[in-house]
Structure 1
């Protein structure tokens, strides 16, 4: 939707071949090829490429646990950039702040930029206050066995 409303360039990253083919079809059908590129890649690998620290906005939906999403998303962001994560529906007794602890996201150079709801959908925004340390993102097993928060 935003690609039709802005002049920004968009990079859609998907590691599933089937989903990539769908995204490529949608980009062609909507005639967005000038501004939208589909990349069949693992986001963690992309965060270790020339894209590292170059992105103004990263969005994530059903990507993974908060710590993994933040670790990979932060590495893609330029200082001043924003990570927006689609959140699951609220559960009784689970404070959304606990999902994104300031000390944990701070290790990645991120700060809480707010959360909001639109109907039943929730979102968390994190802003990149400083460059993400080079050691992030780590390999998948390390992120799973020793989450940053």
Structure 2
């Protein structure tokens, strides 16, 4: 593994390359990383393994991997062009010992047994209810789910949360954090 300064430089390079390929939006890389670090903060009580659902260009998964060297991170995306890119980036960043890239449809991955993660994160994966339902299929019973929120505010129907048996935890308004109710 590289030192912190080198890891940060490689992260900027990786996300810059991802942006040039159209995998990450047009905001500055600094802003992209700042937003991804909200996910890192939301995972502060999580240990073990985290899944980035629909990793795309590596946000927030690569940032989590750099900032939380104690976590095993899985980057899941169904588009092989993106997963091939992510595989190259994690090799370049020296993260292959604890970051895994999977090219698969999430439903196929769940049927194949990809479950039990201590944390699942999603940024731009799909409609909120569908994203939460999918994440709950992937996370361990006591795990944490973190989903990106739009600037427009809360979009979570309390009836849905009751139906799914989850509670929303206090968090930065840029993410929604959920845990199953015991």
- CA 1:127–1:65: 2 relative to 1, 3 Å: same
Alignment match, 2:148: 86
- CA 1:106–1:77: 2 relative to 1, 3 Å: farther
Structure 2 unaligned runs (5+)?
1-62
Task: Give the deviation of 1:61 after TM superposition.
Answer: 0.7
Task: Select the structure that is richer in strand.
Answer: 1
TM-score with structure 2 setting the length: 0.60
The answer as to 2:84 corresponding to 1:21 is yes
The 8 Å contact of residues 61 and 86 in structure 1, kept in 2 or not, is answered as: yes
Distance 1:125 1:62 in 2: 15
Task: Select the structure that is richer in helix.
Answer: 2
Task: Give the deviation of 1:114 after TM superposition.
Answer: 2.7
TM-score with structure 1 setting the length: 0.72
Alignment match, 2:161: 105
Alignment match, 2:106: 43
- CA 1:51–1:43: 2 relative to 1, 3 Å: same
Structure 1 unaligned runs (5+)?
131-149
What does the per-residue CA deviation read over 1:77-98, in whole Å, with 9 as the maximum and x for residues that have no partner?
11121111111221xxxx50xx
What does the per-residue CA deviation read over 1:54-91, in whole Å, with 9 as the maximum and x for residues that have no partner?
0111110111110110110011111121111111221x
Q: Residue 57 of structure 1: SS of its match in structure 2?
A: strand
What does the per-residue CA deviation read over 1:40-61, in whole Å, with 9 as the maximum and x for residues that have no partner?
0112222333223x01111101
Equivalent pairs counted in the alignment come to 119
Distance 1:36 1:56 in 2: 15
The answer as to 2:59 corresponding to 1:7 is no
- CA 1:108–1:49: 2 relative to 1, 3 Å: farther
